[in-house]
Amino acid sequence: MDSQQEHDGPTEDVGPSAPEASFFDKKDARQVVGRILSTNFAVMMGGLNDAATGVLIPYMQPTYDINLLQVSYIYLVNFCGWVIASFANIHVCARLGTGGTLVLGAVIQCLGYALMFWHPPFPLFMAAFFFTGMGVSFMDSQANTFTITLKNAHRWLGILHAVYGVGTIISPVIANTIASRTPSWHTYYLVVLVLGVVNILFLLVTFRKGLFRPNVLNAKETAGSELRAVISNRTIWILNGFFFLYVGAEVASGGWLVQFLVSVRHGDPAKVGYIASGFWTGFTLGRVVLADITHKLGERRMVFIYIALAIALQLMFWLIPSIVVNAVTICFLGFFIGPFYPVGLYVLSESIPPELHVGAIGFAASLGQAGSAAFPFMTGAIASKAGVQVLQPIMVGLLVGIAIFWAFIPIHGQVRL
């Protein structure tokens, strides 16, 4: 499936004379079609994971007899998995390579689903989110690391994260259909467990050459110094803050949307559950439609424009008490914030030395994505005391914070101002 060329480096069975830095060479997409498909499928599995929890919250609560604070602990446990993986990523990749780390992440994710699908006691169900968080973190970091080595990386990153969006569109539909029509809402996790096994097999086949071998020959020896260089780089930390707030806003909005429409707008869970798919649909379309437009007109300028539009749409969602209007505005909100993550990764790749790409992109993708668990947890913890309507001011604050971090990012090189 995958026709590998010489510049794929250690993924080929080549002699010791192969250049160690060959992993960083830009590859033509036609040479690595299989790997593009498998990394996209792996990222879609992340979307299937992230967007389901919010839809299932109204069904988890009566089943386990838990309040919103206890529900939010799920996100806290998930956050712990993300953070541990973000710091472990460089060392794991230094030993297993990109393909091996992807497979490891897929296996860990499936372990979480294996604990979830049979409706275990709540402490065990909650603990399983540690494994899904860690598994998705490893896969997300390595899928982005691989994609950034392709020619026209800004476009392929847009596609990669649009495919993540496809997972987030499908996820609420499947989860809501199962939960609203059967008493066994947790059957959803059996569905994603089966897909997770397919994901493992797909990755094993497409990354079989050089599987479980480091990307470069001296990776084990340089992993520690690479991690130190990454965590001491100011640009990486600024973009980490941008990613952390952005992904937190994205998943907090999608994750607590249904609960807000049920509790504050008094919607029917069986119906408003599908509105979550509207948000993720807009999010996905934005990543496809706006990728080249953003690159052509300038990343810095366009992200500021998108943030301004997103704040306006978020205020409309907050202040207009209509489920129909809310459904429309949340879809457009997703459309305009959707490109932020792939655009940020592209800017990162153009703003730091090539030798830091693997470590920095993996670190940023993992630690930045930890916001997908941190802010939904904080939102749930606050909502348990003040009501789920706190989602709206929190979202406005997150969007303003995103703009502040973006203003501090030094943009140069091939990145358009």
Lowest mean pLDDT among 20-24, 25-29, 34-38: 20-24
Q: Residue 171 corresponds to which amino acid?
A: S
CB 26 within 8 A of CB 156: no
Residue pLDDT, tens place only, 82-113: 889 888 888 898 889 899 999 999 999 999 99
181's tokens: 């029509």
What is the overall mean pLDDT for the chain? 85
Whole-number pLDDT of residue 22: 60
79's tokens: 């956050």
pLDDT band at 401 (very low <50, low <70, confident <90, very high): very high
Whole-number pLDDT of residue 148: 84
Whole-number pLDDT of residue 104: 97
Lowest mean pLDDT among 76-80, 129-133, 407-411: 407-411
**How is domain 31-407 classified at the CATH fold level?**
Growth Hormone; Chain: A; (1.20.1250)
Q: Among all chains, which residue has been given the structure tokens 């050459």?
A: 209
Whole-number pLDDT of residue 412: 56
Whole-number pLDDT of residue 17: 38
Whole-number pLDDT of residue 10: 41
Residue pLDDT, tens place only, 172-223: 889 989 998 888 999 999 999 999 999 999 999 999 988 888 877 776 777 7
pLDDT band at 35 (very low <50, low <70, confident <90, very high): very high
The share of the chain scoring above pLDDT 90, in percent, equals 36
Whole-number pLDDT of residue 2: 43
Q: Residue 283 corresponds to which amino acid?
A: F
Whole-number pLDDT of residue 23: 66
Whole-number pLDDT of residue 36: 96
Lowest mean pLDDT among 71-75, 123-127, 340-344, 351-355: 351-355
Whole-number pLDDT of residue 11: 41
Whole-number pLDDT of residue 417: 52
Of 265, 162, 304, 143, residue with least CA distance to 256: 265
Residue pLDDT, tens place only, 296-348: 899 989 999 999 999 999 999 999 989 999 999 999 999 999 899 889 888 88
As a whole number, mean pLDDT of residues 112-122 equals: 94
Residue 400 has pLDDT above 90, yes or no: yes
Residue pLDDT, tens place only, 248-281: 888 788 777 888 888 888 888 777 877 877 888 8
pTM of the model: 0.79
As a whole number, mean pLDDT of residues 159-171 equals: 88
